[in-house]
Chains A and B, each alone.
Chain A
Amino acid sequence: MTGFLLRRIAGALFVLFALSIVVYAIFYVAPGDVARIACGPRCSTAQVDQVREQLRLGDPVYVQYWHFLQGIVAGRDYSTGTALAHCDAPCLGFSYQTDQQVTQLILAKLPVTASLVFGAFVLWIVIGVGTGVLSVWRRGRLSERVLTWLTLTGTATPVFVIGLLLIIVFCSTLAWLPFPQYVPFTEDPEQWMWNLLLPWFALALLESAKYARLTRSSMLETLADDHVRTFRAFGVSEGAILRRHALRGAVAPVIALSALDFGTMFGGAVLTESLFGIPGLARELVEAVKVVDLPVVVGLVMVIGFFVVLANTVADVLYAVADRRVVLA
């Protein structure tokens, strides 16, 4: 087990390293005047030159990249125009357009995205696994077909359509909920919840369809196994077979997929965050892309990639722990 863990962690670190190279190459070796793009349209020629100096854009690419990597591991200094600022490790760069350190910017957005993902996560597991179990229990009947079509509809509906409809129905027509406006948990937990309720549901309805299908197919696969036939022959009740045996077959894949989705959602909830005006990581990315704030874009892509790699690793390890049939190779 320890060897397996170490190998997985080493693999993850390697992918992160490769990720940083690819992302750096895509954005900083891009055609065009990178210093001008990074600095923004309001910069004077002198400022652009200063940025070029700081990002070492005159040096060979590998030297530039080395300084970038050094910033992440050990921190580096940036001039804000008037004063010299030290950017602590992990330093992901400096946004010349907003005069902010990218790391600080991301840290400020992190709790917002975490709030969204946590709530939606709980909902999508409950709704998804619940629907899956129900459709297996009712298999062969009308209610199963209805559930199957519902989940198919769920996978086919873009999240911004579900979200818009939820807003229209619950905020506008019925006026049960306020138009979502993010309130930090530390400020007012109750308002935090009410305002996040719709985004949670919008995200969860979409995701839960995937879990319903996964739960269903894993359970059906177990039910088709020979040992289940033996249990039936011994007269074990259908309910007990579902609870004790079929559901167990769904545990490992559901855990693995949730770990993966949980990580992906940290950057993947682009549409939900934009639609509901939740100032999280993904919305920041959209804003940064619109004004071409290059350092922020690069920093966010790296951090989002980091979460996915982390989630991938955790998912692998959890899968191995949950399903003892996996050979730890």
Chain B
Amino acid sequence: MTQSLALLGTEAASSSEGPAPGTRSFWRRLRAQKAAMAAGSVIALLVLTALAAPLLTALAGQDPNAYHPEAVDSAAGGVPLGSFGGIGAEHWLGVEPGTGRDLFARIVYGARVSLGVALFATLVQLAIGITLGLAAALGGRWTDQIVSRFTDVNVALPLMVLALALLAIVPQSVPRPVLIALVMGLVGWSGVSKLVRAQALALKHADHVEAARLSGWSTWRIARRELLPSLAAPIITYAALMVPSNISVEAALSFLGVGIKPPTPSWGQMITEADTWYQTAPTYLLIPAGLLFVTVLSLTVFGEGVRLALDPRARTRVLRAGKGSAA
């Protein structure tokens, strides 16, 4: 007991200076960062676009899967007619070479796939990672050993490699976007699980947790009511950076031809197809590649902003090191 009391003392001391900001100060600190706010608006715009995809395509009067042979020059091998890949009032972002499908409609529906798959995959990763991390930290010694070794095995297999390999054997009848998100979720949880385990172990003996245990709460209730609220900040920070990496992975899988299958539009898939057209129709490559870049960059910048807003000390460290730079 004396030992745990001593621990209580140190935990209390360290948690008083630790990152435990209120929601209001979090928003204030986030709003103070111009880059993060700019990135946030780009993301908001993308999410709105994805949600309103049917509306936007109806407005443009286009269908993502309708062929427009009249918009391409079949004599020249299917090069879009008109300048800049056929950009104009009819086709806002031009048309796909070869088939003449409307690029704007495909891009907008592609945003749905890209963001949807990445978000769903992140949720699956969080669910598995948090559950396993908490189990390792709160369960017995053997549970911890088994879960930790299992996590090591997961770490040993690069995400792309395992996702690729799993895609070879999973049932093909499930809708492709759901399947991709599930596979990504099943292979990419080790980071969350390690983070949650470490944080939960550090908090296990904090006074409020000890108090809950002494009141006879079940382990599950302690995890839910006492640990998870304190773990929210590091988990959110980590998750904010998981989304852009999941977007890249989905695009990469589709780029390799094992992700989203045609005719469902996906940015990664468009980039692969554009590979053969870049000399005659460069916009067909530049538009999805540029959007992918902007999306991943915005999400990364926003994630960094969230991290700084949740952990004010991260910024102070940089400032302290900056002393002497004037010399």
Contacts and interface: CB of A to CB of B under 8 A. Distances in A.
By size class, the interface of chain A is: 35 or more
Contact of A286 (B152, B258, B297): B258
B271 interface: yes
B164 A270 contact: yes
Interface string B290-317: 0011001100110010000000000001
Nearest to B255: A160
B278 A172 contact: yes
Nearest to A157: B293
A18 B169 contact: no
A289 B168 CA distance: 5
Given A140-B322, A156-B244, A271 B256 contact: yes
Given A156-B244, A161-B289, A308-B156, A139 B165 contact: no
A155 B300 contact: yes
Interface string B261-305: 000000000010001001100000100010011001100110010
Contact of A290 (B258, B297, B301): B258
B166 A26 contact: yes
A113 interface: no
Interface in A121-170: 139-140, 152-153, 155-158, 160-161, 164-165, 168
Interface in A267-312: 267-268, 270-271, 274, 282, 285-286, 288-290, 292, 294, 297-298, 300-301, 304-305, 308-309, 312
Given A289-B167, A290-B258, A308-B158, A164 B285 contact: yes
Contacts of B248: 158
B258 A304 contact: no
Contacts of A157: 293, 296-297
B161 A158 contact: no
A185 to B, nearest CB: 25
A14 interface: yes
Contact of A274 (B162, B168, B256, B317): B256
Nearest to A305: B156
B169 A30 contact: yes
B69 interface: no
B275 A19 contact: no
Nearest to B171: A31
Given A18-B149, A156-B297, A290-B258, A164 B275 contact: yes
Contact of B152 (A15, A274, A288): A15
6 closest Cβ contacts across the A-B interface? A156-B297, A220-B321, A223-B321, A224-B320, A224-B321, A268-B158
21 contacts: A15-B153, A18-B149, A22-B153, A26-B169, A27-B165, A32-B169, A140-B325, A156-B296, A160-B251, A161-B293, A164-B275, A168-B278, A223-B324, A224-B320, A232-B324, A241-B324, A286-B256, A290-B257, A290-B258, A292-B168, A308-B156
Interface of A: 14-15, 18-19, 22, 26-27, 30-32, 37, 139-140, 152-153, 155-158, 160-161, 164-165, 168, 172, 219-221, 223-224, 229, 232, 238, 241, 264, 267-268, 270-271, 274, 282, 285-286, 288-290, 292, 294, 297-298, 300-301, 304-305, 308-309, 312
Given A19-B156, A156-B297, A268-B161, 14 more contacts: A152-B300, A153-B297, A156-B244, A157-B293, A160-B251, A164-B285, A172-B279, A219-B321, A220-B318, A288-B168, A292-B168, A305-B153, A305-B156, A308-B156
